[in-house]
């Protein structure tokens, strides 16, 4: 596998494993950003997060990166007879 494809695959894995980074990546794609531009934005956001972690001596907290979209309420069917 060529070197460029290997690195692109690693970046994509990073952007799709963490739920907060994945939501940010999907948000950018939904806005119409090209895939590579969205990946670079995710990498930049992660780099800023790492810098903040070192600067403030804190552990990783993905919820500070991007707010997950609200889950749609699911309709629960009741098996009880009314």
Each of the 82 residues of the chain gets a pLDDT tens digit; together they read 556 666 666 666 666 788 888 999 999 999 999 999 999 999 999 999 999 999 999 998 888 888 887 765 555 555 545 4
Domain that holds residue 24: 3-63
At 82 the pLDDT is 45
pTM: 0.68
Decide if 68 is inside a domain: no
At 8 the pLDDT is 61
Report the chain's C-alpha Rg in angstroms.
Answer: 18
H helix runs in 1-72, sequence order = 3-17, 19-30, 35-56
Decide if 59 is inside a domain: yes
- Please, what is the angle between helix 19-30 and helix 35-56, to 10°? 140
Decide if 72 is inside a domain: no
Question: What domain count does the chain have?
Answer: 1
Decide if 76 is inside a domain: no
At 56 the pLDDT is 93
């Amino acid at each position: 596998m060529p070197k460029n494809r290997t690195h692109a695959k690693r970046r994509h894995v990073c952007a799709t494993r963490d739920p907060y980074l994945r939501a940010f990546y999907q948000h950018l794609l939904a806005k119409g950003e090209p895939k590579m531009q969205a990946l670079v934005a995710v990498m930049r956001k992660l780099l800023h997060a790492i810098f903040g972690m070192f600067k403030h001596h804190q552990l990783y907290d993905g919820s500070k990166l991007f707010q997950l979209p609200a889950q749609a309420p699911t309709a629960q069917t009741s098996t009880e007879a009314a």
